[in-house]
Amino acid sequence: MNADPAILYASHLAELQRRAGAALARGGFDHLVIPSGTVHYQWFDDRDYPYAVNPQFKAWLPLLRHPGSWLAYTPGAKPKLVYMQPRDYWHVVPEAPSGEWVPHFDIVIVHTPEEALQHLPRDVARCAILGEPQGAPAGYAPNNPPAVVAYLEYHRAFKTPYEIEMMRRATRVGTRAHRAAEAAFRAGASEFDIHIAYCAAARQDACELPYNNIIAINRHGAVLHYMDLGRTPPPQARSFLIDAGASHAGYACDITRTYSADRGDEFQALVDAVDRAQQAMCDQVRAGFDYRQLHLDAHLSLATILRDFGLVRVSPEAAVATGVSSAFFPHGVGHGIGLQVHEVAGFAASEDGGAIARPDGHPYLRLTRTLASGMVVTIEPGLYFIDMLLEPLRAGPQAGSIDWKRVDAFHPFGGIRIEDDVVCTEAAPMNLTREGFANA
Ligand code: GLY
Ligand code: MN
Ligand code: MN
């Protein structure tokens, strides 16, 4: 693949223009208008929340700190960027536009929100305006036409080569930071200090990361979205689960690894078994394969590990059928990823809208679509020892299918998750995360 960002970006933009033309035709509009978004303030306070750019805007432009700007596209014309550069001596204001995207836009620099509106298409009724209602100016309030949004969001699942390169770069940052975090854990750091080591190695702070880091020692690994960051190391650190990503040009990576403090113990053997199973799941990321089936197959595979490690006494099929596997693996096997860590339109039935339901009994699966070339998905199986889910099992009719002594032995380690970001291609899948770790 040609990795020259300027060339990749040019064809990415051409594809976005093609999609925008098709979406506007479906909705019966002439112009696509996308605000970058505005800054929001805390109620009863003058503090602002971290600004988050409109994902529809950052699909076109790697401008992540540019509130008040607008993109306007009319098929057949060069896209226009109304670029906000406020006159403000309190804050750093955006510098003059620069980057490989600049020659592709007609750029107008404006200094006030009112001035920006002068440069948008006059006939507002002919505009599909995609954005959030809060802070929208009168006259250009977003209408978010469902036909336009559905088309664009459905197609956003299919990444351009430019987008895959941006995700590869995000992954390079994330894997480097994961290595630093593992070293900090092995040196006896607290969760908070591991988090700081991660951010320092990534050169990204919490606002730049695509989601809040999950840095979990011991039992904290059993809290799926544990984000507390303990300030003191525990007396005995047994295990470490880290789910942490990084960003590049607005694109995310999402990576999880689990380690035992003692590389030779049974928990590490269980981690290694999940890791092997996870790699087999990654290999299922093939064009034409139903992601729902990938999730159901993951249950069977994890139930086999539970049986092999003596945690479950019944067959893997019985463990899945009776819901026992769901007590140990209570989330979805993954999701789409790209501009958002949980990419939109995971359930989209078609470019016209509609939804593909989750399989019965699997309420947390975030992706039900059939895989196709260009999709990027996470594959993140896990096994956890979660009291809230184990207690009803222990008290219920399935109690005999489980060896509770074995459960108690693994309980102090919390849980395991292994998560990679995988590109579906016309042939073998491309695992961005394994590639990143191999070069980190
Ligand atoms: N880091 C959130 C997730 O894995 O989905
Ligand atoms: Mn994920
Ligand atoms: Mn994750």
User: Do 165 and 305 belong to one domain?
Assistant: yes
pLDDT: which is higher, 3 or 38:
38
User: Do 145 and 277 belong to one domain?
Assistant: no
In the sheet with 430-431, reading across from the earlier edge strand, the strands are: 376-379, 420-423, 430-431
Residue type, 228: D
- pLDDT, one tens digit per residue, over 267-302 is 999 999 999 999 999 999 999 999 999 999 999 999
First-residue to last-residue Cα distance in the chain = 21
Neighbours of 10 (CB within 10 A): 15
Residue 233 pLDDT greater than 90, yes or no: yes
Q: Determine if ligand 1 sits within 6 Å of the CB of residue 191.
A: no
**Paired tokens of 436:** 């990143």
**Domain count along the chain:** 2
Average pLDDT over residues 235-247: 98
Q: Where in the sequence is the domain holding 245, given as residue range(s)?
A: 161-439
User: Do 137 and 280 belong to one domain?
Assistant: no
Chain-wide mean pLDDT for the chain? 97
- pLDDT, one tens digit per residue, over 82-135 is 999 999 999 889 898 999 999 999 999 999 999 999 999 999 999 999 999 988
pLDDT the model gives residue 228 = 97
Q: Determine if ligand 1 sits within 6 Å of the CB of residue 254.
A: yes
Distance 254 CA to ligand 1 centre (A): 6
User: Do 203 and 315 belong to one domain?
Assistant: yes
Which of 378, 384, 417 maximizes ligand 1 atoms within 8 Å of its Cβ, making it the mutation to test the pocket? 378
Residue type, 320: V
- pLDDT, one tens digit per residue, over 162-211 is 999 999 999 999 999 999 999 999 999 999 999 999 999 999 999 999 99
The whole-model pTM stands at 0.97
Domain boundary among 154, 172, 200: 154
Distance 416 CA to ligand 1 centre (A): 13
Q: Which atom of ligand 1 lies closest to the CA of 256?
A: 4
User: Do 150 and 165 belong to one domain?
Assistant: no
- The answer to whether residues 185 and 218 touch, using CB atoms and an 8 Å cutoff, is no
CATH of the domain at 319: 3.90.230.10
Residue 1 pLDDT greater than 60, yes or no: no
pLDDT category at 2 given cuts 50, 70, 90 is low
User: Do 333 and 245 belong to one domain?
Assistant: yes
Residue 412 pLDDT greater than 70, yes or no: yes
CATH of the domain at 113: 3.40.350.10
Average pLDDT over residues 31-37: 98
